[in-house]
């Protein structure tokens, strides 16, 4: 299985081209799921797990891998399905999200596919397990679900969205002139986290589910006058269906009516992110999720 990821580090050329590579896997049953390869460190046959007391029920145990102790989360249980059985025949996907490393227990891992973000679509309304999907796509005539990992992790180990009292007090000195911040993120949990953090410092938010929706909102606003009179700045995730954050930022910079907007890329791609790509597309700042004080400071600095 190591060979399936032996060239992950050579794939950064996909960044900025609205493309991604998905690692396909299955839980219980035939349904396929996908995870962005940029989030994946390696895939391993499930090692012997040590069961620890008082762990969340979705954590099957911890594994010692390359000198690091990693919690192994049963993804099937995390989305409300039955536990994965016979761990000796299963795999764990070692991934990095939001500055932390964890293992996701899956039944089987298939292959990596190269796709365009335009082929990654928001989940259909009324779809099953809607709360745990950020997007869907089609591979070989079958539906592939892309899970809202940020929601899953937040349910297992909630992150604080509280901004420190010092920053809240300091925000009194900053006047946004009533202009909101546009927040683009495909995860409903991530959008709410950003919104709570910014509202604590007196900044209102306009929310968009992906880069395409956010760009359309900006273009509509620009018809009513200078965009900087209406939007203070933009905070965008990178991984989003239809249009990723890199492409969204590049579209802003290439549009004469939007090009002066301050753009912060805010993403869970903390371990594999290439700072050069931020400069390439013209973003002003990059912040790995989720540190409310760091985000608040960046917004206050931009304002």
| pLDDT tens string 2-26 | 444 444 444 445 555 677 889 999 9
Query: Per-residue pLDDT tens for 81-100?
Result: 999 988 989 999 998 877 78
Cα distance between the two ends of the chain: 48
Tokens representing residue 230 in the block? 């209406």
Q: Give dist(CA 249, CA 104) in Å, integer.
A: 31
Mean pLDDT of the chain, nearest integer:
84
Place of tokens 């299963």: 90
| Helices H / strands E in the chain, number of each | 8, 15
Mean pLDDT, residues 173-196? 83
Radius of gyration over alpha carbons of the chain, in Å? 20
**Beta strands across the sheet bearing 205-208:** 205-208, 181-184, 233-236, 263-267, 285-288
4 to 1, 37, 105, 227, 277: CA distances (angstroms): 6, 10, 17, 45, 25
Beta-carbon contacts of residue 56 (< 8 Å; ≥ 6 apart)? 156, 157
> Who's near 136: CB < 8 A, 6+ residues apart?
120, 121, 122, 123, 124, 127, 143, 144, 145, 146
DSSP string, 152-221: HHHHHSPPP-PPPHHHHHHGGG---TTPPEEEE-S-HHHHHHHHHHHHHTT--EEEESSHHHHHHHHHHH
Q: Which of 238, 181, 179, 180 is nearest to 211 (CA)?
A: 238
Per-residue model confidence (pLDDT) at position 268:
74
Residue 4, pLDDT score: 46
DSSP string covering 21-63 = EEEEEESSSS-EEEEEGGGEEEEEE--PPBP-TT--TTEEEEE
- DSSP letter assigned to residue 238: S
Kindly report which listed range (12-26, 85-99, 229-243, 249-263) carries the lowest average pLDDT score. Answer: 12-26
C-alpha to C-alpha distance for 148 and 187, rounded to whole angstroms: 6
Is pLDDT larger for residue 275 or for residue 294? 294
Query: Contact 268/288 with Cβ under 8 angstroms?
Result: yes
Report CA dihedral (23, 153, 209, 214) to the nearest 10 degrees: -90
Please say whether the beta carbons of 234 and 217 come within 8 A: no
* Per-residue CA distances from 236 to 40, 52, 89, 200, 214 (Å): 21, 37, 39, 19, 9
Residue 271: pLDDT above 60?
A: no
pLDDT number for residue 67? 85
78: tokens are 């995390």
The strand pairing partners of 9, in sequence order, are none
Residue 128 has pLDDT above 60, yes or no: no
Instruction: State which H helix or E strand residue 110 sits in.
Output: strand 108-116
Phi-psi region of 66 (alpha: psi -120 to 50; beta: other; left: phi over 0): left
Q: Does residue 184 contact residue 236 with C-beta atoms inside 8 Å?
A: yes
Closest CA to 241 of 47, 18, 72: 18
The pTM (predicted TM-score) of the whole model is 0.79
Is pLDDT larger for residue 187 or for residue 249? Answer: 249
Can you give the pLDDT at residue 248? 94
Please give the average per-residue pLDDT across 240-255, as a whole number: 91
């Amino acid at each position: 299985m190591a060979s399936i990821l032996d060239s992950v580090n050579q794939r950064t050329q996909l960044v900025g081209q609205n493309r991604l590579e998905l690692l396909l896997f299955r839980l219980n049953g035939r349904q396929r799921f996908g995870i962005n390869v940029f989030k994946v460190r390696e895939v391993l046959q499930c090692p012997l797990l040590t069961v620890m007391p008082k762990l969340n029920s979705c954590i099957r145990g911890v594994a010692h891998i390359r000198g690091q102790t990693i919690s192994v989360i049963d993804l099937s249980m995390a989305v409300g399905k039955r536990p994965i059985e016979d761990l000796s025949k299963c795999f764990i996907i070692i991934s990095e999200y939001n500055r932390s490393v964890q293992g996701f227990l899956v039944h089987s891992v298939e292959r990596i596919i190269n796709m365009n973000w335009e082929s990654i679509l928001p989940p259909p309304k009324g779809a099953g397990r809607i709360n745990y999907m950020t997007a869907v796509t089609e591979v070989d005539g079958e539906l592939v679900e892309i899970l809202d990992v940020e929601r899953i992790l937040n349910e297992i180990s909630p992150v604080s969205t509280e901004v420190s009292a010092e920053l809240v007090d300091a925000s009194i000195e900053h006047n946004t002139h009533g202009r909101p911040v546009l927040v683009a993120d495909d995860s409903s949990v991530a959008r709410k986290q950003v919104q709570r953090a910014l509202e604590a410092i007196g900044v209102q938010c306009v929310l968009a589910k992906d880069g395409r929706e956010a760009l359309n909102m900006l273009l509509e606003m620009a018809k009513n006058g200078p965009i900087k009179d209406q939007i203070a700045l933009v905070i965008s995730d990178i991984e989003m269906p239809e249009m990723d954050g890199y492409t969204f930022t590049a579209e802003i910079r290439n549009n004469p009516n939007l090009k002066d907007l301050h753009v912060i890329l805010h993403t869970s791609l903390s371990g594999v992110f290439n700072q050069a790509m931020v400069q390439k597309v013209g973003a002003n700042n990059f912040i790995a999720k989720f540190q409310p004080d760091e985000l608040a400071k960046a917004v206050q600095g931009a304002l």
